[in-house]
Amino acid sequence: MRIDVKQCAELLAQQDNILILTHAHPDGDTLGCGFALCRALMKMGKICAVENADEIPKKYDYLYEDIVQIKFKPDYVVAVDVATTNLLGELDGKYHIDMCIDHHSTNTEYADNLLLEDVPAACQLMLEVVKALDVELDDKIANCIYTGLTTDTGCFRYASTTAATYRAAAEMIELGADNGKINRTMFETKTKTYARLERLALDSMRFYEDERVAIITFTQEMYKLTGSNEQETEAIAPLTRQIEGVEIGITIREKADGTCKASIRTFESVNAAELAKAFGGGGHNQAAACRFDCGVKEARTNLVIKCGELLK
Amino acid sequence: MRIDVKQCAELLAQQDNILILTHAHPDGDTLGCGFALCRALMKMGKICAVENADEIPKKYDYLYEDIVQIKFKPDYVVAVDVATTNLLGELDGKYHIDMCIDHHSTNTEYADNLLLEDVPAACQLMLEVVKALDVELDDKIANCIYTGLTTDTGCFRYASTTAATYRAAAEMIELGADNGKINRTMFETKTKTYARLERLALDSMRFYEDERVAIITFTQEMYKLTGSNEQETEAIAPLTRQIEGVEIGITIREKADGTCKASIRTFESVNAAELAKAFGGGGHNQAAACRFDCGVKEARTNLVIKCGELLK
């Protein structure tokens, strides 16, 4: 069932012992949503917690480090920024999910569904939800919402960023969001291992289809050489698309078991989700991902062939 | 004389045949200011033009390509985003300057001066001026203002970005500013020559003072090897500061005559303008620049010694 912001807030107000699930491999938007909602519900006196399949990267500590998590049996489960249940990773199937709050056009409507596709970050929608809950917003909720706004828009850079996104950011700063520090942490801090990995990644970049496709490949060997890891590849994915003339930028990451995953970034000329879908993946128009059971070279060949078809 | 926005607009309304000067080596903020003001004054029926010492990089074409420039003898001269007259480059001394609209704390008040230091971009102040001129704002003025806002804040990233900056951006988008395209042009498009130069620059990066200082050096040889040029080094300057633990990031650019120029980027712990001032330069708290009469190696040694003093 589709619900609107008001119904969403009413349903949440009726519940207690609420568990919030974020997607696996959690990013700033799903975590910002999760902890903004958790903080708002706790302000209403409810027992509430956030659970994720994977470890939360250390840079997001400030979103939740002051929250005291209580163990409880959930009566109501809410998934945030989770388009399909398989994106919950290991949590998929563990709980019956009652509500979903999301902004992905690929959402499969697996629960009572608050879906708004016109916002570049789920946190922009979540801000409407926490406002409708009628709790007093504070700097900590503002930090959560701001984190989702800025990370899912590439720091307010992408074309999908609207006037309303900028206004939401202004409101969060007025509430005390530490925009300078958050952006520095998210966009301006490279670990030394990351800096080394980035150099190898730029060396691995190859061009195809009249240089309209650029592909970076990460191997397990590269992680060993640099002391880095797969988590640090995330920020490198957009680099492929930045070269003049490139319409499809792809990063392929080799897993420990020899299979791999591809992140796809495009401009308006190519639908990234369509390319990912050809390999069983999904995502947004300009950012999508898919998995392969084969090695990086075979995956690259298959991707280049499909890119050629889409660029015709 | 210090003037406020209202006085500034009144003075401009009284004048005709107005020449607007931007600073040398023009960037998005000085050009955004210049062409926003020029467009507004032309809408009031005035004869107006923008003049700069150096060539405008091609990526800024959209700011002015539809403006028909008329040759005229100026009766009134306005400098925008120009802290000191020597920043006018070859235009310094060519005209008597009647008015200055600026946001630099280092401004020397060389004319009737509208100065607001609390804005991260001069275009945020210029928006107030064009509003006070009481002309109808349009998408072209909005593109000019948005360009200054986004380029001088690193795409709304820097700590100096305020709620008012975000609100100004929201207004410009509602007026039709093409935020997606502008940000892509300014922040997401690397020419192939730039991508090659960036790789060499990362290779040239060296660390000093317990890795709290990072220095990238550009030589004329590097421009030859990559087919790139000094203009393309601008976007590389912030990269030094992004490495974890680095408090001062410096890029040194060798000139064709063997002398050099340094761009300094810092965090709150060090005042970049203070470091630049030690070598006769200037700028903002976290971004400044200075020139050297010596070669890159000697400049680097002198900078490292001064950095050591400031970090104590």
Residues of B in contact with A243 (CB under 8 A): 190, 192, 195
Using the beta-carbon criterion (under 8 Å), do A241 and B180 form an inter-chain contact?
no
Residues of B in contact with A200 (CB under 8 A): none
Given a contact cutoff of 8 angstroms between Cβ atoms, the answer to whether B103 and B116 are in contact is yes
pLDDT of residue B178: 97
Residues of A in contact with B160 (CB under 8 A): 180
| Structure tokens given for B48 | 């107006």
Q: Tokens 């003072």 sit at which residue?
A: B209
Q: How far is CA A41 from CA A18, A47, A103, A168, B189, in A?
A: 8, 8, 21, 20, 42
Sheet order of strands, A48-51 included:
A48-51, A18-21, A76-80, A99-102, A112-115
Neighbour tally for B61: CB within 10 Å: 11
Residues of B in contact with A159 (CB under 8 A): 179-181, 183-184
Which residue among A167, A192, A242 sits closest to B188, beta carbon to beta carbon? A242
Find all residues with CB under 8 Å of B29, minimum gap 6, and list them.
B81, B121, B122, B123, B147, B148, B151, B152
Residues of B in contact with A181 (CB under 8 A): 159
Given a contact cutoff of 8 angstroms between Cβ atoms, the answer to whether A31 and A56 are in contact is yes
Using the beta-carbon criterion (under 8 Å), do A242 and B163 form an inter-chain contact?
no
The alpha-carbon gap from A184 to the nearest alpha carbon of chain B, in Å, equals 7
Chain A contact probe: residue of B149, B157, B184, B190 with most A CBs at under 10 A: B157
DSSP state of A73: -
Residues of B in contact with A242 (CB under 8 A): 188-190
**Chain B residues within 8 Å of chain A (Cβ atoms):** 155-164, 166-167, 169-171, 173-174, 179-181, 183-184, 187-192, 195, 198-199, 202-203, 238, 241-245, 267
Quote the CA–CA distance of A86 and A94 in Å, as a whole number. 11
Please check the confidence at residue B291 and state whether its pLDDT lies above 90: yes
pLDDT of residue A212: 94
Residues of A in contact with B192 (CB under 8 A): 243-245
pLDDT in tens, A243-267: 888 999 999 999 999 999 999 999 8
Q: Cα Rg for chain B, rounded, in angstroms?
A: 20
Which residue among A189, A202, A243 sits closest to B192, beta carbon to beta carbon? A243
Residue of B nearest to A205 (CA): B195
Using the beta-carbon criterion (under 8 Å), do B169 and A180 form an inter-chain contact?
no
Quote the CA–CA distance of A242 and A248 in Å, as a whole number. 10
Q: How far is CA A196 from CA A188, A216, A262, in A?
A: 15, 15, 21
pLDDT of residue B187: 86
Using the beta-carbon criterion (under 8 Å), do B167 and A166 form an inter-chain contact?
yes
pLDDT of residue B245: 87
pLDDT in tens, B104-116: 988 999 999 999 9
Using the beta-carbon criterion (under 8 Å), do B199 and A202 form an inter-chain contact?
yes
Which residue among A163, A190, A245 sits closest to B242, beta carbon to beta carbon? A190
The alpha-carbon gap from A176 to the nearest alpha carbon of chain B, in Å, equals 10
DSSP state of B287: E
Extended beta strands in chain B, E state: 18-21, 48-51, 76-80, 99-102, 112-115, 206-208, 213-218, 248-254, 260-266, 282-283, 287-292
Residues of A in contact with B187 (CB under 8 A): 157
Please list the residues that pair with A217 across neighbouring strands.
A252
pLDDT in tens, B226-278: 998 887 887 787 788 888 889 999 999 999 999 999 999 998 789 999 999 99
Q: How far is CA B16 from CA A194, B9, B11, B72, B301, in A?
A: 55, 13, 10, 11, 51
pLDDT in tens, B169-210: 999 999 999 999 999 899 877 888 888 898 888 888 899 999
Chain A to chain B, count of Cβ pairs less than 8 Å apart? Answer: 105
On the CB side of A104, how many CA atoms lie within 13 Å of its CA?
25
Residue of B nearest to A172 (CA): B163
Strand B248-254 to B213-218 pairing? parallel
* pTM exceeds 0.80: yes
Which residue among B166, B190, B244 sits closest to A192, beta carbon to beta carbon? B244
Residues of A in contact with B156 (CB under 8 A): 155-156, 166, 169, 183
The amino acid at A20: I
Q: If you write DSSP's letter for every residue of A31-58 in order, what string do you get?
A: HHHHHHHHHHHHHTT--EEEE-SSPPPG
Residues of B in contact with A139 (CB under 8 A): none
| CA proximity to A64, closest of A29, A102, A32, A108 | A32
Given a contact cutoff of 8 angstroms between Cβ atoms, the answer to whether B296 and B254 are in contact is yes
**Chain A residues within 8 Å of chain B (Cβ atoms):** 155-164, 166-167, 169-171, 173-174, 179-181, 183-184, 187-192, 195, 198-199, 202-203, 238, 241-245, 267
| Structure tokens given for B155 | 């795409």
Using the beta-carbon criterion (under 8 Å), do B155 and A159 form an inter-chain contact?
no
pLDDT of residue A286: 87
Using the beta-carbon criterion (under 8 Å), do A163 and B170 form an inter-chain contact?
yes
pLDDT of residue A239: 83
Residues of B in contact with A241 (CB under 8 A): 188
pLDDT of residue A187: 86
Using the beta-carbon criterion (under 8 Å), do B184 and A159 form an inter-chain contact?
yes
pLDDT exceeding 90 applies to what percent of chain B?
Answer: 80
pLDDT of residue A235: 76
Quote the CA–CA distance of B1 and B18 in Å, as a whole number. 19
Please list the residues that pair with B136 across neighbouring strands.
none
Please check the confidence at residue B42 and state whether its pLDDT lies above 90: yes
**Run of H or E including A112:** strand A112-115
Quote the CA–CA distance of A118 and A37 in Å, as a whole number. 20
Spell out the alpha helix ranges (H) of chain A: 5-14, 28-43, 122-132, 139-152, 163-174, 179-183, 192-204, 220-226, 272-277, 296-311
pLDDT of residue B237: 77
Chain A contact probe: residue of B146, B153, B188 with most A CBs at under 10 A: B188
The amino acid at B189: T
Residue of A nearest to B183 (CA): A157
Neighbour tally for A19: CB within 10 Å: 23
What residue ranges of chain A have pLDDT lower than 70? none
The alpha-carbon gap from A112 to the nearest alpha carbon of chain B, in Å, equals 32
Report yes or no for ipTM above 0.85: no
The alpha-carbon gap from B188 to the nearest alpha carbon of chain A, in Å, equals 5
Sheet order of strands, B282-283 included:
B206-208, B213-218, B248-254, B260-266, B287-292, B282-283
Residue of B nearest to A157 (CA): B183
Residue of A nearest to B154 (CA): A155
Sheet order of strands, B99-102 included:
B48-51, B18-21, B76-80, B99-102, B112-115
**Run of H or E including B201:** helix B192-204
Residues of B in contact with A180 (CB under 8 A): 158-161
Quote the CA–CA distance of B161 and B165 in Å, as a whole number. 6
pLDDT of residue B188: 78
Quote the CA–CA distance of A154 and A158 in Å, as a whole number. 6
Residues of A in contact with B191 (CB under 8 A): 244
pLDDT of residue B229: 86
